A = this chain, B = another copy of it.
Amino acid sequence: MANKATRLLNTQPSVIASAAVGGKKENQGPLADIFDKINDDPYFSADTYEQGESHLQKQSILHCLEKVNLQPQDIEVLFGGDLLNQCVGTTYGIRSFEIPYLGIYAACSTMSEGLLLASLFVDSGITANAMAVTSSHFCTAERQYRFPLGYGGQRSPTSQWTATAGGALIVSAHSQPPYIRGCTIGKVVDMGVSDANNMGASMAPAAFDTVKTFFEDTQMKPDDFDYIVTGDLGKVGSRLFCELMQQSGTDISDKHKDCGLMLYDPETQDVHSGASGCGCAASVLCGYFIPKLKSGEIKNILFSATGALLSPTLNQQGESIPSISHLVWLSNGTTV
């Protein structure tokens, strides 16, 4: 598949450990059991929410390492990033670990990009292992991207709730499921959506572009997979994504799952269009899908989290919202 965005991984490396950390709201939803650690305190015992998000990342990493009895110095490279300006949630969270670190930015697609890079590094022998981590926090995202917390403004029906959550995982040589079978590097997609309260609509075209690219590059079909998983398209974005796929001739409506629609209970937790944030996709991948792929309860998924690459500054300048989606194929087995 020369010069294509999709690559199949020759050695099919393994995700040997994953961990998910959440907050109070995440513990009240249908996926409460997936979390290795819950913090009821939105400050995570820190002085500020931003420092709290760093603690969240640190916890994600420590819980993940613990599962395979590794220490930070055993990790050869760490890919991390988050939604905060200059990705400080990650920087301050990992500061004490002294792990060789490559910062990444893909907004809410960060876990996809981190897992993708970790997989490629191990598969091609650059490193023997690689870790990926990301997080999001309702309070830090809200006041950076939208309004001060005390503002009390109305949230539009299309808006989503940034999850206070994080996820970390370790990729290592082929040993046990889940295996990483392939990946597709996304590209920036912009269909002109400029409503910052409707991230789902801006991101759906990116998910469509990447998933369609994967199917074209591999000649595989939706039926080859249990689920096609997006990160946080939410209600609006999910519907648009499925419609775009349908219009292109591929029906994925019975295969699509969105982490943003899984994390919270729509009846009891008022999150409008769903959950969002790097931590939404990351925690659901790390705490829900990876364990089920490991056990074999789920056989094959495409994990294609999306990220809206806007900034408040550019949005205020009237720019539209470009998005991106990176895809990873995870499998319980080594053959389809």
Chain A residues with a Cβ under 8 A of chain B: 2-3, 5, 7, 47-48, 50-51, 74, 76-77, 81, 84-88, 91-92, 94-95, 98-107, 113, 116-117, 120-121, 124-126, 128, 144, 185-188, 190, 309-314, 317, 319, 322, 324, 326
A86 to B83, CA, bound (A): 7
Chain B hits for A106, CB < 8 A: 102-103
The answer to whether B103 and A322 have CB atoms under 8 Å apart is no
The answer to whether B95 and A188 have CB atoms under 8 Å apart is yes
The answer to whether B107 and A105 have CB atoms under 8 Å apart is no
Q: Which of B86, B190, B310, B311 contacts A311 (CB under 8 A)?
A: B86
Whole-angstrom distance from the CB of A248 to the nearest CB of chain B?
A: 17
Q: Which of B101, B102, B186, B309 contacts A88 (CB under 8 A)?
A: B309
A289 to B115, CA, bound (A): 34
Chain B hits for A317, CB < 8 A: 47-48, 50-51
Chain B hits for A117, CB < 8 A: 102
Closest to A307 in B: B103
The answer to whether A86 and B101 have CB atoms under 8 Å apart is no
The answer to whether B88 and A313 have CB atoms under 8 Å apart is yes
Closest to A210 in B: B100
Closest to A312 in B: B85
Q: Which of B74, B87, B95, B187 contacts A100 (CB under 8 A)?
A: B187
The answer to whether B85 and A185 have CB atoms under 8 Å apart is no
Task: Give the most central of A48, A102, A311: most B CB within 10 Å.
Answer: A102
Whole-angstrom distance from the CB of A106 to the nearest CB of chain B?
A: 5
